[in-house]
Amino acid sequence: MYYFKSDFKKADEQSVNIFNHPKLKEAESIRKITEAFDDRLKKFFVYGTVKGDTLFLFFNHQIGLLEFNGKKDKYLEKMRAIYKKERLKDVLFFRKVNAQLKLESGKKIDNTKREPDVAEGDFEIKCKNPQLKKMFENIRSIIKESHLEEKDD
């Protein structure tokens, strides 16, 4: 009987040790910090991690990334307040914040599709400066050549 009790006690101690794991504490701290995000931004937030002295925040859509970068100062200020209030310095330390796009493994961005160029190079150059006029003429000839190549394809 004593033998079984000690096994249960060891199992209980191991489960407590799992919950005290540094990575789990880090993840919980990041979750607390990201409470600074608006509801709209929270929809796009996937996860965060700390590498070195940088906190990496990953978003699953470009809109989330643009939202964060557009209001970065506001979000960082809120995150600092939560960081201080929750006393997360012992668990989580970072100096920089880097937001990135994290696509799902099945999704890929198709860069092969390209809209055809609509410029044909038939614009008027009104520049009086001879050097600039020559540059614009050069640009116009490049556009015309690329337009002709597209028609041939």
pLDDT at residue number 82? 83
Instruction: Specify the residue for token string 């960082």.
Output: 76
- Residues 137, 62, single domain; the answer is no
pLDDT at residue number 104? 65
What tokens does 71 get? 């209001």
User: What pTM value is reported for the model?
Assistant: 0.54
Residues 6+ apart with CB under 8 A from 103: 60, 109
Domain count, the chain: 2
- Residue 38 — left, alpha, or beta (φ > 0 → left; ψ -120 to 50 → alpha)? beta
- Residues 18, 89, single domain; the answer is yes
Output the tens digit of pLDDT for each of the chain's 153 residues: 444 444 555 555 555 555 566 667 777 888 888 888 888 888 988 888 888 888 898 999 888 898 999 998 998 898 888 888 888 777 778 788 889 888 766 555 555 555 666 777 788 888 889 998 898 888 888 888 877 766 665
CB 143 within 8 A of CB 121: yes
124 found inside a domain: yes
90 found inside a domain: yes
- Residues 67, 133, single domain; the answer is no
The Cα–Cα gap between 29 and 114 comes to 43
What tokens does 66 get? 């643009």
pLDDT at residue number 9? 52
42 lies in which domain range?
13-101
- Residues 37, 94, single domain; the answer is yes
Could you give the C-alpha distances from 8 to 16, 17, 20, in angstroms and in order? 12, 14, 19
What tokens does 58 get? 């990953």
- Residues 27, 73, single domain; the answer is yes
How many helical (H) and strand (E) elements, i.e. helices and strands, does the chain have? 6, 3
What tokens does 35 get? 């409470």
Residue 96: which CATH number? 3.30.300
Please report the sign of the dihedral spanned by the C-alpha atoms of residue 71, residue 75, residue 76, residue 81. positive
What tokens does 52 get? 């070195």
Instruction: Specify the residue for token string 């400066």.
Output: 129
6 found inside a domain: no
pLDDT at residue number 107? 57
